[in-house]
Amino acid sequence: MPFSTKRIIRKELATSTGIKNAALMRNRYLLRRSNPSSAADSCWEGQSDTNSFSDTYSDPDTEADTDINIELSTGEDAGFTSEQELDADLDSEAEEILKDIAQLRAEGPAKPNHTPHTIKLWKREGDFWERYCSKIMKKTKRSPEEQLRACDPEAFKAYLRWRKKNSRVKKESSMRSYWKRLSMCYMDLTRHTMDADVLTDVCNWIPSLMLDKSEKEKHQTPQQSIDRHD
């Protein structure tokens, strides 16, 4: 084969090889541009083989941001709604409690749960108090209720002395019972207990009336009386 022919063949082979190499490099470049990295491939493990990568691939960063935004937005809306509902429940309960407080305030302090017999006794004492106050009303210009509300310890002491003078009371224990019943009249009228200092003052004063300090003898049944004398 002539030398010139060999040169032509070599030149064509080189050109053909160069074209093939260039095409191969171009294909590799395009493949790298179109395929994700190996790290991204690991995120898509388990993807169905029936789908081509071009059909299933999308930018993971974009999808992640979108999902996060949706979750955050949904969470904020749900939280805001929950807070609104909680505030509404609290406001409703607060209104109910405040109404209850207002009603109880209007009712005032609760009265003692006295038995009918006890109520009868302190009301009877109230009748005596009214009779006592009627004696001094022209001077004091106070009604029995006003005199009782005044809670004057000296007026109470004078009342108990008046009770001793105008009744057959002999026992100190009876006088203390009268005083206790009068304090119940005060509580029923004012809806609160009498001042402790006044109660103590009058109690400490009662012995000055010089009444019998012995206890009352309890009433005995006929059988108890028989047993006692046996």
| pLDDT for residue 222 is more than 60 | no
Q: What is the average per-residue pLDDT within 112-140?
A: 94
| pLDDT for residue 147 is more than 90 | yes
On the 0-12 / 13-18 / 19+ scale of CB atoms within 10 A, 188 is middle
What band does 193 get if pLDDT is binned at 50, 70 and 90?
A: very high
Which of these, 159, 160, 151, 155, lies nearest to 197 by C-alpha position?
Answer: 151
**In which domain, by residue range, is 183 found?**
116-209
pLDDT by residue (tens digit) across 5-31? 445 445 554 455 555 555 555 555 555
138 domain-assigned:
yes
Asked whether the whole model's pTM tops 0.75, one would answer no
141 domain-assigned:
yes
pLDDT at position 83, please? 76
Which of these, 10, 215, 152, 29, lies nearest to 21 by C-alpha position?
Answer: 29
159 domain-assigned:
yes
| pLDDT for residue 173 is more than 70 | yes
pLDDT at position 32, please? 53
pLDDT at position 128, please? 97
How far is it, in rounded angstroms, from Cα 40 to Cα 38?
5
If one counts the domains in the chain, the total is 1
